[in-house]
Amino acid sequence: MARIKETAQPELIESLYRNHIPKDARFRVLKHLITVEGTKRPEGDHCPCPMCTPNRFLTGSLVWFPDLQFCAFIGNCCANDDVLAEAEKERKWREKRDSEEDYLLAALPLVAPKVTVLESLKPVALEAVRAYRKIRNTLPGPCPSPGRAGRWPPTHGPPLGRPWSRRRLSACGWPVRSVPAPKSGYLQ
């Protein structure tokens, strides 16, 4: 790949296949979107594509043809649509897999210290759960309404545009402010 960018003449690299390749030949993308500088090319033209025509592209992909057993540098739109879609799907899957593997390998040394920290926090978490259950069982129930009967905690406050009255709030067990509420506030 470095040599392709350096020389800007992939057709002169001996290890890349340069003869005609059928458009329906299946391939795997090794490196996607390699851009060749047209100014480095001898006549300022485009790179020849073994799948279609000479003087075709400046941005292509390095691909492997498993059935034909060779590598080539081709344009991004030169292959058959079905073959290109299959190769692109396989490339994206491989990149995702490699990214996940890299993350797992990088995170592996951190697992033991994280487990140690979590084990030390276990008593605190158990106490928080116990305190939550105690508070949950001692608080007054939610405001009685047909759809919310018996559920705690409520998932929302008063409906937008309809503030709850002090009487309704106190009937539900919600604390009521003793300070006069603003004219457009929730409490009227």
Q: What is the pTM of this model?
A: 0.51
What number of other Cβ atoms are within 10 A of residue 168's Cβ? Answer: 14
Q: Could you tell me if residue 34 is inside a domain?
A: yes
pLDDT band at 113 (very low <50, low <70, confident <90, very high): very high
Rounded CA separation 123/133 (Å): 15
Q: What does the pLDDT read at residue 161? A: 47
116 φ, ψ to 5°?
-60, -45
What number of other Cβ atoms are within 10 A of residue 73's Cβ? Answer: 25
* Token pair recorded at residue 98: 């490699």
Q: Could you tell me if residue 135 is inside a domain?
A: no
Q: Could you tell me if residue 99 is inside a domain?
A: no
Strands 70-75 and 59-65: antiparallel
Q: Is the pLDDT of residue 97 over 90?
A: yes
Rounded CA separation 82/32 (Å): 17
How many DSSP H helices and E strands does the chain contain?
3, 3
Q: Is the pLDDT of residue 122 over 80?
A: yes
Give exposure, 120-134, as e/b (b: 16+ Cβ within 10 Å).
eeeeeeeeeeeeeee
The predicted model gives 121-150 an average pLDDT of 75
Q: Could you tell me if residue 111 is inside a domain?
A: no
Q: Residue with structure tokens 């009967």?
A: 149
The residue range of the domain holding 47 is 2-84
Q: How many structural domains is the chain composed of?
A: 1
Q: Could you tell me if residue 61 is inside a domain?
A: yes
Q: Which of 5-9, 105-109, 143-147 is predicted with the least confidence, judged by mean pLDDT?
A: 143-147
Residue 89: alpha-carbon gap to chain centroid = 16
Q: Could you tell me if residue 67 is inside a domain?
A: yes
Q: Could you tell me if residue 71 is inside a domain?
A: yes
